[in-house]
Each structure stands twice: as C-alpha cells, then as structure tokens.
Amino acid sequence: MSLKILVNSLSGGGAELQAAQLARDLKAELFILDKSFSARTSSVADFKILEGKPSFLPSKAGLLFIKRYAKELAAKVNKNDIVLSFMPKSNFVNAAASELSGHKAVLGEITQPSREYSGIRGKIMQPLIKKYYRKAALIIANSKGNALDLKKNFDINPEKIKVIYNSCDISAIRNAANAPLPKEYEKVFEKTVIITAGRLTKAKGQWHLLKIFAEIKKELPEAKLIILGDGNLKRKLRTLAAKLGLNAHDGRKMPNAEKDDVFFAGFQKNPFCFLRKAKIFIFPSLWEGLPNAVIEALAAGIPVMAADCASGPREILAPETDFSMRTEKPEEHTAGMLLPPFDANADDFYMPVSDLEKTWAAEAVKLLKDEKTLIASKVAGMLRAADFDSGKQILLWKNELSKLTR
C-alpha cells in the first residue's frame, strides 16, 4: 500500500499548498493535472503530470476529460493504494479512477460547494459533485461548515465525512516572517499598512475592502493597503480603486510610498515578511472553507479582522462558539475580531459605500489607534495558530488514512 496525492496544479492557492505540504509530510507521490506553478509552490521538486487533457486547451476544459485523466491515474496506482485528492476536478478524477483500479479514493473538500458553484457553473458542477463524491471511500472536509454543506445540500453519507483542519508549518512561517522585505516595499511599510491575502475572485470580496479602506483613509490619510494574490477580478478592482479616488500600484513599476494608496502585490514567494510588518490583516470573504490566509496571518503575528462568513473564520478565531452562528455586530475574541459578513448574493461591486462597510472601517480605525490591543492580539493570534501546526494535524491525517487499511 502506498499513498498518492492528486491536485489540479501547483498554482499557489490554499488547496495546492495543502497538497504540496501533505505530500512532503506524508511522503506521498504527488500528481497534478495542469503544469501551473506559483512562487510559493515552485520549490516542489517531485511530482508527475497526468496528460489527460491536450496541452493546448485551457485548464477549465479539464472537466471534459475526466475519464481520460481517470484512466491514466488508474494505470499508475494499485488496488491497495490510497489516493488523496483536493479540488473538485481532481476529486472527480480520483473517484472515477477508483472504479477502474479498485484503490481507495479520499476526497478533500476545501470550500462550500453550494456557494462556490452557483448559477450556470453550479448546474454543471453540483450534479458532478453528487455523482462522484458518493464513490469516495472517505471525504475529509477542512471545516465543520464544509462538512455540513456536503451532508445538507449534496446528500453525502455523514459517516463518510470527517473534519481535519488545514495545517501550517508554523516554525517555517515565523522564520520567513522575520526575513527582510523586498527593498522596493521598505518605504511603503514606514506607513500604516493594512494587508489582505487571497485570490482576486468573487468569494474573497476584496471590493468591500477597497471601500472600507477608502473610509479608513478619511481618518488615517497615511494608511496604505497591500493586496497579496492575483485573479480574474484584478482589472475590475483597479477600476473600483480609481473610482474611489485611490491610486493603485499594480506591480509593473516601482511602488511609490508617497503617491500610491493600494498595492496589488500579486503572489509573493515570501508573503510572511509582508504580513509580519503590516499593522492589521483584514479578510472580507463572502464564503470560505477554512482560510489558510487567516491561519498564516495569525502565525506571522498580525492582528486579524475577518468576516464571520460561512465557513471557517469563526472556527479559527472563536472556536469556543457555535460554528453555525453568524454575528450581526462586531465581536472581539481572544484570537481576533469577527465582523458581520457581507451579502454573498448582492450585486454591490460599484455601489456606494454601505453602512456595514463603514462599520468595518470604524472598527479598523479603532484597532489601529489602540497599540495595547494590537500587541495583545498579536500574541494571542500566534498562540491560536499553534493549534494548526502541521506536526499536530499530520497525526490526524495518519489516523484517518490508516483506518482505510484495516
């Protein structure tokens, strides 16, 4: 028996990072569907690419080639093997391949499918999730909220679903956080820096943060906003920044600490030195699974303000509370602050600043002016991050996977 891990690519999102880390910690063979990398995953040396899709087609076309991918994967595994996969496309391939090879398919769910896949996309993805996820030997959800979504909206057998939170190499994050900044950003961090991290997609809700930041600037004119990550909303977010009167830097020229307000810094090989030196981390997601970005921010030693969205932030910042509740007013917890979530269905990208966005801004300004609370939040957040250390989480993975071999 051997363990193999399958993921769509190594492009740098939370699922890809988890797959790469688990492949290392569990000494598993790593497979990817698309040859795509980011600065943070480019150091992964040992992996194999499945060639199920013609290389000239975009990655989104991979759904059309599930059976071809599955046939290739099945040829590379044995009946007694376990294949752990992350992200729906890889999960579909894994489940389909298990019917050919007889291996045990373990599917990792990192988001809430009912929210992530809606509209036309949902009409394609949700039936596939129902079809393939039921073939799994085991499903590992990375939050209680995700597990509930699979049970409630996809009729998955609850006995097949277990919850294991995302893990982080806390020691490595703290070491990287103490590294020097890239020289071009040194002067920017002489100002009051607010930071966030995540793909520039609808789920992350960064347009709310731009509006929040525009309000913060009224009280703290010297404040700067750094957005780590990239995605399909980058151009639209830059347009919104301009409409809000914010000068945006997009990474194609030297940052100007005096003239620029918002810095679209993309995916950084070492995001942790950025996090460590910023004042606060603001996370306005509309929905999540269990956000690595929040855990990493805590580990890097930065106070966190996060939307109490479904799901994940509450499980991280307020684990003593009911994971299914949603706050209607700001909540201060030892590990960080939860704020009322934004409407995931609202078409409010270019709408005027809302009362809720103003509430977020007011809380951010209050925190930024309270040095005592900032220091206490850093310490408490770092302690909470230790609960997600890979050394602890890997034992949970080994325990669940070992049950499949009994």
The answer to whether residues 137 and 17 belong to one domain is yes
The CATH number assigned to the domain holding 272 equals: 3.40.50.2000
Residue 255 lies in domain = 170-388
The answer to whether residues 75 and 195 belong to one domain is no
The answer to whether residues 153 and 194 belong to one domain is no
pTM over 0.85: yes
What are the tens digits of pLDDT across the range 101-157?
A: 999 999 999 989 998 998 899 999 999 999 999 999 999 999 999 999 999 999 999
SS3 content of the chain, % helix, strand, coil (to 5): 45, 15, 40
The answer to whether residues 361 and 261 belong to one domain is yes
Let me know: does 99 contact 73? Beta carbons within 8 Å: no
What are the tens digits of pLDDT across the range 374-396?
A: 999 999 999 999 999 999 999 99
| Torsion angles phi and psi, residue 193, rounded to 5 | -105, 125
Cα–Cα dist 377/383, whole Å: 10
The answer to whether residues 130 and 184 belong to one domain is no
Helical spans, DSSP H, in 168-267? 170-177, 206-219, 234-243
Mean pLDDT of 338-365: 97
The answer to whether residues 28 and 119 belong to one domain is yes
What are the tens digits of pLDDT across the range 286-314?
A: 999 999 999 999 999 999 999 999 999 99
The answer to whether residues 120 and 181 belong to one domain is no
The answer to whether residues 90 and 133 belong to one domain is yes
User: What kind and span of H or E run contains 305?
Assistant: strand 304-307
What are the tens digits of pLDDT across the range 15-31?
A: 888 888 899 889 999 99
The answer to whether residues 52 and 12 belong to one domain is yes
DSSP string, 65-109: GHHHHHHHHHTT--TT-EEEEESHHHHHHHHHHHHHH-PEEEEEE
Neighbours of 253 (CB within 10 A): 9
Find the range with the poorest average confidence among 27-41, 68-82, 311-325, 341-355.
27-41
Residues 6+ apart with CB under 8 A from 3: 26, 27, 28, 29, 81, 82, 83, 84, 401
DSSP 22: H
The answer to whether residues 264 and 148 belong to one domain is no
Q: Number of folded domains in the chain?
A: 2
Closest to 351 measured CA to CA, from 214, 232, 248: 214
